[in-house]
């Protein structure tokens, strides 16, 4: 009987084992997760879960009994410490050895942290990556407490929104010239800066953190321009790093993630990768796509190929962010855009759409409180269709007609 082992019980790992069974794999499946909880969604951790609007049971990807019912050996609170690719074995904590026929690494990523030398390990300094992080920091969100958010990406902005809604005094610092600089156009940055400012968040751009202050627990911060702040707690949102240690130990080539081919194979026979940890080729360049959609779609392709298929993965990137009453939905990747065309609605001032073009080609969309534009834009991008910008910004355009 073949034995397929999946390391990493996040969105990609849980999706992969489900697809194996759905597609008829009747061998042994082992899913190994480092956390003590059943596989769950991560995006709500910095949104609804942190706000107290979503219970743990709703976070779970599947009911706990599903794994046993589908004959999947789920090993929780278990770490894999090494991979012997030649022998096709892994070693678990406690020096327990396990053989495999095919191995999928779905270890995701981990947050960048601040160095100890500048206060990164003080009590009251948090990252938002897993359930334990969210549960540990939950008591900090009390009205009147002073929060410093370090980093103006989506995680930092979502955490700031939660804290502001709970009555905290929030300061967010971003060392780049503007928030969301790495991932969005200036127009999207401007929109969210304005929203946060209206909710009382103080955003400081073009200024970094010099160091946090405190003996055992954080009590303050000094910024790179010398500004001193009082701080009751801090959240660090300065990006993530792919979890590649196991793949590297197995001899796989890694470059900002685990290098995979179009079918999800690593450079080591019988070892695959999917999700945030996987580095893939998209439109001629290697990158990682950090999203739920990518984790699901790539994992399903890898599952088919582990069973002997020959399916190439074509990414269809999509993302979202919830902040206050604003829903941002993104389709495509805006890498290389040279123009942004803005659509607004006269009778819905809270809605707007930013269409990204590279020359005459529509490559991405930021839809803000504009779900219909998002859905049409996503389908257009995936189909390789690029209506003229003047059509896309006209609120009278029949969007559905563009799909014909």
Q: Which domains does the chain have, with CATH numbers?
A: 3-110+241-306 (3.50.50.60), 113-236 (3.50.50.60), 325-403 (3.30.390.30)
Q: How many CB atoms lie within 10 A of CB 389?
A: 17
pLDDT band for position 51 (cuts 50, 70, 90) = confident
8-state DSSP, 287: E
How much is the pLDDT for 52?
A: 87
8-state DSSP, 363: E
Tokens representing 138 are 């939950």
For residue 247, the SS3 value is helix
Q: How many CB atoms lie within 10 A of CB 312?
A: 10
Cα–Cα distance measured from residue 258 to residue 256, given in angstroms and rounded to the nearest whole number: 7
Residues in the chain: 404
> Which phi-psi region, left, alpha or beta, contains residue 303 (left: φ > 0; alpha: ψ -120 to 50)?
alpha
Cα–Cα distance measured from residue 7 to residue 351, given in angstroms and rounded to the nearest whole number: 41
How much is the pLDDT for 284?
A: 87
Closest CA to 295 of 101, 42, 100, 80: 42
Cα–Cα distance measured from residue 295 to residue 47, given in angstroms and rounded to the nearest whole number: 19
For residue 109, the SS3 value is strand
pTM score, whole prediction: 0.94
| Residue 203 pLDDT > 90 | yes
Asked whether the beta carbons of 225 and 207 are under 8 A apart, the reply is: yes
Segment 1-44, tens digit of pLDDT: 999 999 999 999 999 999 999 999 999 999 999 999 999 999 99
For residue 41, the SS3 value is coil
Report CA-CA distances (Å) from 198 to 45, 160, 180, 192, 390: 24, 13, 18, 10, 31
Cα–Cα distance measured from residue 161 to residue 165, given in angstroms and rounded to the nearest whole number: 6
| Residue 47 pLDDT > 90 | no
Segment 77-128, tens digit of pLDDT: 999 999 999 999 999 998 899 999 999 999 999 999 999 999 999 999 999 9
Q: How many CB atoms lie within 10 A of CB 140?
A: 17
Asked whether the beta carbons of 233 and 213 are under 8 A apart, the reply is: no
Segment 337-371, tens digit of pLDDT: 999 999 999 999 999 999 999 999 999 999 999 99
Mean pLDDT of the chain: 96
How would DSSP label each residue in 122-160? SBTEEE-SSHHHHHHHGGG--TT-EEEEE--SHHHHHHH
> Which phi-psi region, left, alpha or beta, contains residue 124 (left: φ > 0; alpha: ψ -120 to 50)?
left
Segment 206-253, tens digit of pLDDT: 999 999 999 999 999 999 999 999 999 999 999 999 999 999 999 999
> Which phi-psi region, left, alpha or beta, contains residue 240 (left: φ > 0; alpha: ψ -120 to 50)?
beta
């Amino acid at each position: 009987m073949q034995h397929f082992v999946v390391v990493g019980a996040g969105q990609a790992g849980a999706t992969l084992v489900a697809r194996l069974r759905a597609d008829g794999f009747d061998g042994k499946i082992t899913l190994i997760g480092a956390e003590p909880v059943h596989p769950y969604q991560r995006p709500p951790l910095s949104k609804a879960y942190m706000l107290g609007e979503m219970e743990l049971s709703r976070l779970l990807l599947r009911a706990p009994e599903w794994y046993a019912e589908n004959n999947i050996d789920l090993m929780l609170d278990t770490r894999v410490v090494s991979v012997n690719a030649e022998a096709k074995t892994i070693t678990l904590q406690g020096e327990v050895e396990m053989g495999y026929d095919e191995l999928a690494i779905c270890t995701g990523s981990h947050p960048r942290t601040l160095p100890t030398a500048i206060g990164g390990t003080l009590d009251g300094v948090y990252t938002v990556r897993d359930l334990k992080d969210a549960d540990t920091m939950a008591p900090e969100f009390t009205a009147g407490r002073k929060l410093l958010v370090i980093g103006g990406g989506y995680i930092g902005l979502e955490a700031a929104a939660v804290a502001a809604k709970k009555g905290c005094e929030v300061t967010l610092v971003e060392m780049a010239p503007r928030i969301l600089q790495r991932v969005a156009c200036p127009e999207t940055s401007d929109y969210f800066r304005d929203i946060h400012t209206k909710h009382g968040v103080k955003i400081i751009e073009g200024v970094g953190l010099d160091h946090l202050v405190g003996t055992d627990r954080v009590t303050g911060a000094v910024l790179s321009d010398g500004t001193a702040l009082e701080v009751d707690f801090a959240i660090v949102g300065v990006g993530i790093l792919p979890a590649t240690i196991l793949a590297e130990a197995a001899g796989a080539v890694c470059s900002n993630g685990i290098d995979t081919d179009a079918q999800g194979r690593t450079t080591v026979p019988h070892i695959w990768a999917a999700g945030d940890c996987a580095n893939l080729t998209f439109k001629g360049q290697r990158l990682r796509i950090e999203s739920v959609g990518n984790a699901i779609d790539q994992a399903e392709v890898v599952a088919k190929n582990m069973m002997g298929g020959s399916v190439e993965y074509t990414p269809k990137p999509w993302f979202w962010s919830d902040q206050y009453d604003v829903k941002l939905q993104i389709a495509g990747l805006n890498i290389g855009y040279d123009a942004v065309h803005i659509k607004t609605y006269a009778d819905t001032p809270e809605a707007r759409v930013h269409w990204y073009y590279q020359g005459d080609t529509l490559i991405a969309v930021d839809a803000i409180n504009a779900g219909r534009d998002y859905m049409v834009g996503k389908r257009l991008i995936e189909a390789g269709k690029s209506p003229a910008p003047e059509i896309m910004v006209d609120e009278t355009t029949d969007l559905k007609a563009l799909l014909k």
